Structure 1
C-alpha cells in the first residue's frame, strides 16, 4: 500500500468537488495481499444487514466527518447490505450495452457523481482482543463494492476498495477495540475504475456483496493453495498444498497425510468432472487452527489442439451468466445462486462463462459440488472505447497496466482452489494491448495448470484457445474443416490452427429465440477442434417495476428516464427475469441432451452416449407409443452401459413394434435419473426422443375412403342468399360484401383473412440485413402491417360458393389474389384456398397464413400436432407430436417486450373450446397455429409484457409457413431456408363445431 493512502481517502476534495482517489488508476487495494479464502480458521463476524445510509447527488454534498465514531447518524436512513442503492429509491438504474454513461475522458469522472455514505456499529468481545494480544490478526473483508469505496474503522483510514466484483481485505488489527466499533464506508458511483467495467448490464452501485470481520489466530492457516492433479493413465492423484504457515495436511478418506509444501501421492482417486463432481475434504491444520478445503482431483489441458479434462476431449455446452435478480440486481442470495446451478444442471448445461467478471465465491463452491465447468472471467471490459477507434483504450495505455494485472492477480488468488474453474479469461471486449499481454503472462506464471482465454485477440497471442463471437454456421463449418481464411503471418496462423476453437458467445437469446441451435451443435460435434460454446445469455435482466398505470413489468433501458440507453437489449436470456425457463431454454436442453436416440433402419434404434466422462448406468430408459396423440402402450428399454461417445444398436421392443399402424404413431424413448443426485430427484428426465413408428404396408383397397379436410363431397349444401348481404351455406353464414365467414353453427366467426406480417421479434427489429435495413423495416416498407382486403368476385356454384379476394397495402402496387372455394356438408365447412402473388414480391414475408377472429369465451385449446411448447422452423427440436391441451393464456409466451410468440407446428387439427362448445380447424398440408387474445398490432405496439391488455376476441392464426427465429439481434442473419418467399400456394381447410368443453 502506498504511503500517501491516508491522504487520498481523507474528506478533502479537489477544487471540482471530486476526491482525488476517484481518478487514481493504481493497483493498491486494501492492506492485505489477495488470498485464497477457505473457511476462516477463527471466529467470523457477519456484518451483513441494515447499515445507516446517506445518499448525495455529488461528493461535495456528502456529510463531512462521517467516519468519526461519534458522528450523529440518527437522521440517516437504513439500507441493507448487500444491496444496490438504486433499487432502494436512491438515484436510478442505468442500462447501456457498449457506451459509457459518462464522457470518455479517462481517468476523469463526472462531477455529478452520486455518493453513498455507510456506517455500521458492531461489538467485539474480550476473546477477539485476547487473540489479537496473542499475535492474531483481524481482517475486514469486502466481497464486492461498486464502483469504488474508501473505508475507515473507528475514525482511522484503512484504504480503498477498487474492482467492483473482486474482494478487498484490510488488516484492521491496530484499529479494532473491545466493545463498540464503527466502520464507515464512502461509495462513489463513478470512478476511474468504471472505465474498466463497461460490461453489458445495469450500472448499479453500493456494497452489493457480503462484508465480514474475520479473526485469524496466530499461527493458524489463512491462505491455502491446493494443487490436486490427476494422472489419466494410472488413475492416481497427486496433492500439493501451499500455505502461509507450515501445517499438516490430511484427507482421511484416502488415508493421505503429510505436510504443506510436499508432493503427496494420493493413490487411486475418483477424478472430478462436471458429470461426476467427486470432492474430497482436505484438512489443513496447525496447533492454533484448521481449515477444511474441498479438493477435486482433475487435470485440464490443451493436447494436440484439443481441450481435455482428465485426458478426455470435452465439449462445453454452456451459457454466459451474469449475476442478476429482478429485485436485488447483482446482490444475489445463496438460494439465488443455488437455484441457478440446479436450473443449469437440470437443463443439461455443463459449463458457465462468468460474463464478464468473477462471480460471488459461493457460486463457484456450488459449481464444484454439483458439477459445472467454469471459465472464470476477469472484471474487465472497455467496450465503450471502440466507437473512438480504441483511442486511449486502457488495455494499451501504460498507466493502466498495473491496475489490469492487479485485477487478474486478485481473481486467480481468490478462485484458484476451485476444481470447477477450468480456464481463466482476461476479460471481454477490451480491445488489444500490452496490458492484456501482461495479464496473460501473469496468469501463466501464477497458474500454469489452466489455459487462458481472451476473445478480443483474434491472433491468439494472449489466449490458449481461439475464441469467437456470433459467427455464422458457414464460418464454424470452415473452422471445423480447418479451411478458414489464414492469418497474414504464417507462423501466427499455424499457432492459431493448433489451438481449440471456442464460441464464447453465440445464439443470442433475446426475446423469441435463439434459433438454429441444432445446426451449431452438429458442427461442434463434427470436429475435435471445436470445444463447444456458450449461449448468450442465461437470464433476462428485467428489473421489477410498474408501468404508468401501476401494472407490474420487467423494466429495461430507458424505463427510468436514463439517457443514453440501449432499450431491452438487456433482456436477452434463456431464463426470464423471474427465473422461469423460456422456450429457448427448453430448446437448448433438448439440443444438448446427453443421450441421443435415432432410427437405425426398420425396427432398429441407435442409442449414443454423448457425455464425456461417464456411462449410462445412472439412467433408466422407458418407451411409449402414441397413436393419434393417445398413448397406446409403454414399457422399459434395456440400454447397455455405454462408455462416453459410444453407441449401440437395439431392436425396437416387440410390444412397441406391434403397435405400428396407419395413423400418426410415434415411439418416444425417455432417459431418466434412476436415483436422486445432488441436483435433481430420481425420475428427472435428462433426454427424450420421439421417432415415427413406421406403419406396415397397407393392404390394397378397391374403394379408397376420403379423409381429411377435402373429404366434403361436391354435392354439399346449396347456398341461400339472406338479407343484409349475407349468404348461408349449410350452417355457415358468409358476408357477401367482404367474402368472409361470419358464423358457423351459430358461433360468430370472422375470417379467414390472409396474413403476411407478424409482431416483429427482437431479431426481426434489430437484425440488419445485407440491404442495410432491419427485417422489420423491410416489412414496413412492403406495408405488411397494414394490408387491406378487397372482394374481387363472389360466385355461387352448385354445392358451394367461390370468393376471390385481393390483398394489398395502400400506396403499393404489389398484391395477392386469393381464391376461396367453399363447400359444406352438414355442420362441416371445407375450403380449397389457392393463392397467387401479383407483382415482384422479391423480399421475404413474415408468414403465409390466415387469421380467424373467434369469441373470447373460447378459453382453452386442444390440438393434434407439435407441442407442448412453442416452436418455429429453427426452434423445433423440443417439439413432440401428440394431443395437447392448454388454456389460451398459457399458449402466450411472456417475453419482456411483447412480440410474435406461441406458435405450434405440424398441426393436423386445432380446437379452441369454451363452456358452450367450440370449433375444430383442420388443414392439409399440416400447419402451424397461434391462438392468442393479442393481435399482432397490439403486440407490436406495447412496450412491456405487463402492460398488455387482452382483447375481447380470440385470434386464431393458421400458417402454412412462418419465418424462422435466428439470433440476428446480435449475430448472423437468418439462413435462407428459414425465410418465407411469397409464391403460389394451395391450402385445404376444414371447419366444424366442437363439443362442449369437458367439465362445463
Structure 2
C-alpha cells in the first residue's frame, strides 16, 4: 500500500490530534523518548519508501532527539528573513521536499494497564505523521506547538511498540511559519509517552487575581478534585472561588505559592502567582502598577543545537536577563519551550507569549497579482484559530504571561480577528497584542516596530490617537553588529509619557551556527551553507554573541534600563531615583569610590535611606570624600554603585545593579605649547613619520557597520569616494617655531578634499601635534570618521585613561565609565560575527601603547580623542567575512579620532539623527607624543 502524503498540503491543522490542554506537572507516568532514534532522510516525499511497517532499519543511520537533522549531518541549514525559499502557491510545496523518518521501538510498561496511552510531541518542524506498529495514527502541523495522539488501542502494556514518525521539511504550514530564523527541521523538542488514568485530571486552569492585599483563586479542572494551598491554609473544591491575604506576583517580586489539585486518579502540582493585568486611562498595569517593559525579543537558539535547547540553556538565558535588569520577554515568534515559561514564573519576567505565526514573505497587504496573505485566506482559518487555541491552552497557567500575541508580520485579515476572539473567549484576563493592527481595530495594546523617539513621543502626548491604548514597541533598538545606538533617547520618552510603556530590543542573541570554513571555526550566517536565497548576516542581530557572551550593545542596554538613576543633583550631592515598579531599595547597598586620573584615592560605603518606588532622594557625599574635591588633584571622578546586599536566586551578593559617575574637579584650560621644530618628522608619499610612528595620515573611513551597510549609508559614502581617498603633500618646512606639513586628502575623480595642516613642535621627551582640517570644494555632508591613523611595531599592551572598559561611540556611551584601563590589542577588539568597525574608545585623555621597542604615550592637549588600536587594517576588517579571517601581523594600526559618526540602529530602524552625524566642517586636534 502506498503512503498517502496528501496531508503535507492539507490546510487542516491535523488529524486525530487530541484537543489542546495545559502543560501540567502531574502524576501521570511518563516514558521519555529522548535519545537516539533510527533515522533516514529522503530527498523528497516521492523518494520516501513505503516501508514504515518494516521493522528492519539496519541500513539506517541514527539521530538524537531532540535535534535538527540539518545540524546532525543530514542536509544543510538555510536562512531567510522575509522571502520564502520556495514558490508562493499555497498549499503546494516543492517536490524536492526533504523527508525524515524516525523510528524507535519501546516497551510499554506493564503497569500502564487501564491507562490511556498518549504520545506527546512538544515540537516538530514542520509537519509530521505518526505510525505505530505499522498503522497510521494521525498527523499534525504547528511546528512550535505540542501535539498528542491516543495510542491506547494500538499498543499493549508489557509489549513492544514500534513508533515511526515521518517528518517533512516543507508543508502548507511553512507558509505561516516564515519567522526570521534558520530553516531547521526535525523533532527538536522532547517526545514522551504518557499514561493518563481515566480518573486523573488532564487539564487545569488556574485563575489567580490580586487586589489590595487580597488574592482571589479559582482552579478549574476536567476532573473534579480538591485544591490545597498549604501556605495559605486553603483547601477547597475545584471550580469554587476563594480569597486569602497574599503577596502579589510581579517580575520584580515573583512570589509563587505551591498548590496541588488532588483527585482519586492523582495530583497536579501548581505554582500559583496572584496578579491582575488591567488597562486603565491608556496604561497597562500589573496589580495596579504601571509596567515599563525593559524587554527583549527572544528566539530559541544555541550555536550547536539550533532551537533544540536544554534546560540549562533556558536557565542561562533567564539568569542573564535578570542580571541585566531586563524584565520582559516577547517570545518571537512562537511559543517557547514550556520550561522556559516556568523559569519566567520562578525568577520573574513578564512574557508576551506569541503564537506560532508569521507570513512576512507575502507582504502586508494584497496587491494584485499577489496572493492574499494567509491571514486573509479562509482556507487557512481553521489552522490559525487552532494555533492560538493551542498556545493559550498550553500556557494559560503561567503567571509570567501577561499578554497574548497573535503572531508577527502577517498584515491584516479576518482570520486574525477570529484568533483574537478565541484568545479572549478562553482567557479574558489577559490583553491581546498584534503589531500589524496598525489602526488598533481590535487589539488591546497599540504596538509598533522601530518608530523613532519623536514618533513615540507624539503617540504618548496625544490620548486621541489609537483609542488611547497602551503603546509599546514590540521591536526596537535593532541589535545588529555594532549597536544599537540612541537607546537613551527612547528611555527618556518612556519616562516622560505614561502611555509609552517601553519595548523589546530586537533581539536577544546572534543566530550564528558554529561550523568550520576552510579549516577555521566560525559562526556561520546566511549563505555560508551554500544557500542561493538567503539574507546574509541579518540573522546575527542580538545583544548576545552566539556563545551568550554579552555584546557592547548589551552592556549599553543594561545601563540605559538600570532601575536606579544616579546623577549629580546640582547642589554638591548625589541624586538617586528609584525606577523600580514595586521594590524599594532595601535590598541594595551603596558604595562610593573616588579616582584621580584613574587611581583610587578614597572609597567606602554611602549611607542612603530606603527609597520607595518612583521616589528621589539627595545624598550628601561623605565629608572625607568631599575634601578630595579641593585637594588639587588631577581629573577626579566619584562613582556611586548600587549592588545587591544579599544573594538572590539570580545573582550573588555584590552584583552591580546600577551606577553613576560625577566629576569633582573643574576641567582646566589647555596651556599653550612652546618649543622648537623637531628634526625627525618627515613627510612622504604614505604619510608623516617620526620615531616609531610611521605613515600618519588623515583618516575618514571606517569598515561599514551593519547600520551603515543595510540602509545604503555606506554606498552613499562610497559614491563620495570616502573609502579610497589619496594624500598629497602640498608643502612642508619650518614655520613659526614648528615643523609644518600641509596635506590635501581627496578621492580620485571628485572635486572635493580636506586640507590638513600638521604643526609639530618639539617638547621635553617628545612632540606636540596641532592638527587643523578644513574642507574644500563640493565636500560630502557627513563623514564616517575624522582623525589620524598611523602604524607602530606590534603593540603588546594598551593602557588608557578615558572611557571604558568596552567600546563606546557618540550614541553608545552610557555604559562607558571614565577610568584607567589596560588591555591587550586582541582584547580591544569586539568579535562581531560579520567583522566591521569596532573597538573605539571615545573621549580618551591619554593612551600608552607598549611594544617590544618601547612605549608610546599619546596625550590629549585640550580636546579629547577617540582611540582605536588594531592588528589589521581597516581594509582587512572591511573585506573579512568572519572574525577568523582576521589574522594579526607584525604591525599595529592606531587611529586617533577627532570624531566619528554614531552607530544608530538603521539596519532595521530609524535613520541616524543629525545630532549623531559627523558633519563635514573645520576641525582640530592637539596631541602630545612621548616615548619611554
TM-score, normalised via structure 2 length: 0.97
Structure 1 CA distance for aligned equivalents of residues 112 and 662 of structure 2? 68
CA separation of 1:580 and 1:500: change in aligned 2, threshold 3 A: same
The Cα shift of 1:189 comes to: 0.2
Cα distance in 2 for partners of 1:125, 1:605 equals 68
- Structure 2 equivalent of residue 764 of structure 1: 708
Residue in structure 2 matched with residue 12 of structure 1 by the alignment: 3
Of 610, 613, 617, the match for 1:641: 610
Q: Which runs of 5+ in 2 are unaligned?
A: none
Question: For residues 980 and 647 of structure 1, what CA distance do their matches in structure 2 show?
Answer: 36
- CA–CA distance in 1 between the matches of 2:925 and 2:99? 65
Q: Residue 434 of structure 2: which of 443, 447, 454 is its match?
A: 454
Provide the residue aligned with 1:664 in structure 2.
635
- SS at 2:697's partner residue? strand
CA contact (8 A) 1:116 1:188 kept: yes
**Deviation per CA, 1:635-661, whole angstroms, max 9, x where unpaired?**
111222222111112212222211114
Residue 469 of structure 1 pairs with residue 413 of structure 2? no
1:275-314 equivalences under 5 Å are 275-314=252-291
* Distance apart, 1:827 and its partner CA: 2.6
Give the C-alpha shift of residue 799 in structure 1. Answer: 4.6
Output one character per residue of 1:719-753: Cα deviation in whole Å (capped at 9) or x when no partner.
Answer: 5xxxxxxxxx2xxx333434844342xxx211321
**1:237 aligned to which of 212, 215, 219:** 215
Does the Cα contact within 8 Å between 1:453 and 1:462 map onto a contact in 2?
no
Instruction: Report the Cα distance in structure 1 between the residues aligned to 2:730 and 2:681, rounded to whole angstroms.
Output: 15
- Match among 147, 156, 159 for residue 135 of structure 2: 156
Matches within 5 A, 1:192-211: 192-211=172-191
Q: Which residue does 2:822 correspond to in 1?
A: 885
Q: Describe how 1:113-132 pairs up with structure 2 within 5 A.
A: 113-129=97-113, 132=114
- Which residue, out of 9, 26, 45, partners 1:59? 45
After superposition, the Cα gap between the structure-2 partners of 1:517 and 1:30, relative to the gap in structure 1 and judged at 3 Å, is farther
Deviation at 1:396, TM superposition (A): 0.8
Match of 1:99 in 2: 83
**Preserved CA contact (<8 Å) 2:26 2:266:** no
The 3-state SS of whatever aligns with 1:925 is coil
Kindly state the Cα deviation for residue 121 of structure 1 after the two structures are TM-superposed: 1.2
2:560 aligned with 1:583: no
2:718: which partner in 1?
780
Q: How does 1:547-558 map to 2 (within 5 A)?
A: 547=517, 549-558=518-527
Structure 1 unaligned residues grouped into runs of 5+: 1-9, 14-18, 484-492, 699-705, 720-728, 768-773, 995-1000
Q: Whole-Å Cα distance in 1 between the matches of residues 13 and 168 of structure 2?
A: 18
- Residue-by-residue CA offset, 1:13-62 (whole Å, 9 max, x unaligned): 5xxxxx20011111335531100021132211110000000001011211
- Indicate if the aligned counterparts of 1:967 and 1:973 stay in contact, CA closer than 8 A: yes
| In structure 2, C-alpha distance between the alignment counterparts of 1:128 and 1:636, rounded to whole Å | 63
Aligned ranges 1:382-781 → 2 under 5 Å = 382-386=359-363, 389=367, 391-482=371-462, 496-547=466-517, 549-661=518-630, 662=632, 663-695=634-666, 710-711=672-673, 713-714=674-675, 716=676, 729=679, 733-738=680-685, 740-744=687-691, 748-767=692-711, 774-781=712-719
Contact 1:799–1:824 (Cα < 8 Å) also in 2: no
CA distance in 1, matches of 2:154, 2:640: 66
Q: CA separation in 2, counterparts of 1:81 and 1:268?
A: 45
**CA deviation after TM superposition for structure 1 residue 797, in Å:** 3.9
SS of aligned partner of 1:958: strand
CA change 1:385–1:917 in 2 (3 A) is same
Shift of 1:681: 0.9
What is residue 869 of structure 1 aligned with on the other side? Answer: 806
How far apart are 1:915 and its partner, in Å? 4.1
Partner of 1:321: 298
Say if 2:68 is the partner of 1:84: yes
Alpha carbons 2:720, 2:780 under 8 Å: kept: no
* Alignment-derived partner of residue 846 in structure 1: 784
CA distance in 1, matches of 2:799, 2:683: 31
Query: In structure 2, what is the Cα distance between the partners aligned to 1:415 and 1:446?
Result: 12
Identify the range of structure 1 (595-604 vs 582-591) with the bigger mean alpha-carbon deviation. Answer: 595-604
Q: For 1:59-100, what per-residue CA distance to the aligned partner results, in whole angstroms no more than 9, with x for missing partners?
A: 12112121x2x5200111000000000011211111111111
In 2: Cα distance, 1:340 partner to 1:59 partner: 37
Matches within 5 A, 1:27-38: 27-28=13-14, 30-38=16-24
Look up the match of 1:931.
869
Other-structure match for 2:147: 168
Question: C-alpha separation between the residues in 1 aligned to 2:706 and 2:198?
Answer: 59
Q: 1:955 aligns with which of 884, 893, 906?
A: 893
Q: SS of 1:938's equivalent?
A: helix
Q: Aligned with 1:478: secondary structure?
A: helix
Equivalent pair of 2:325/2:657 in contact (CA under 8 Å): yes
Confirm or deny that 1:146 pairs with 2:137: no
Q: State whether structure 2 residue 171 is matched by structure 1 residue 191.
A: yes
**TM-score, normalized by length of structure 1?**
0.91
Structure 1 counterpart SS, 2:537 = helix
Structure 1 Cα separation of the partners of residues 907 and 234 of structure 2: 54
Q: Which residue of 2 aligns with 1:336?
A: 313
**1:211-250 CA distances to partner (integer Å, 9 max, x unpaired)?**
001111231122111001111x2x1111100111011100
CA deviation after TM superposition for structure 1 residue 693, in Å: 1.6
Secondary structure at the aligned position of 1:339 is classed as: helix
Looking at structure 2, the residues matched to 737 and 564 of structure 1 have their Cα atoms a distance apart, in angstroms, of 48
Using the TM superposition, give the Cα deviation of residue 184 of structure 1 relative to its aligned residue in structure 2, in angstroms: 0.4
Contact 1:739–1:791 under 8 Å retained in 2: no
How does 1:246-261 map onto structure 2 within 5 Å?
246-261=224-239
| 1:149/1:186 contact within 8 Å kept | yes
Counterpart of 1:525 in 2: which secondary structure?
helix
SS in 1 for 2:205: strand
Contact preservation (8 Å) 1:40, 1:215: no
RMSD of aligned residue pairs (Cα, Å): 1.6
- Distance in 2 separating the partners of 1:871 and 1:29: 55
Deviations 1:368-424 (A, max 9, x none): 000000000000001111186363211011111111110000000000000000000
Give, in angstroms, the shift of residue 605 of structure 1.
Answer: 1.6
Distance 1:897 1:257 in 2: 58
Is the CA contact 1:379–1:407 (under 8 Å) kept in the aligned structure 2? yes
Rounded to whole Å, the distance in 2 between the matches of 1:666 and 1:155 is: 75
After TM superposition, give the deviation of residue 301 of structure 1 in Å. Answer: 1.2
Match of residue 723 from structure 1: none
Q: What's the CA shift string for 1:909-946, capped at 9, x where partnerless?
A: 11111344210011230011101112111111111112
Instruction: Please say if residues 739 and 794 of structure 1, whose CA atoms lie closer than 8 Å, have aligned partners that are also in contact.
Output: no
* Distance apart, 1:251 and its partner CA: 0.4
Q: C-alpha separation between the residues in 2 aligned to 1:647 and 1:742?
A: 55
Matches of 1:408 and 1:243, distance apart in 2:
21
Preserved contact between residue 554 and residue 946 of structure 1 (Cα < 8 Å): no
- Distance change >3 Å, CA 670–CA 333, structure 1 → 2: same
Rounded to whole Å, the distance in 2 between the matches of 1:877 and 1:313 is 25
Is the contact between residue 147 and residue 162 of structure 1 (CA under 8 Å) also seen in structure 2? yes
Structure 1 residues 212 and 798: CA distance shift in structure 2, 3 A: same
Equivalent position of 2:772 in the other structure: 834
Distance in 2 separating the partners of 1:880 and 1:237: 45
Contact persistence 1:54–1:118 (CA under 8 A): yes
Q: Which one is further off, 177-186 or 380-389?
A: 380-389
| Aligned residue-pair number | 925
* TM-aligned CA deviation for residue 782 of structure 1: 1.3
Against the structure 1 CA distance between its residues 141 and 739, is the aligned structure 2 distance closer, same or farther, given a 3 Å change threshold?
Answer: closer
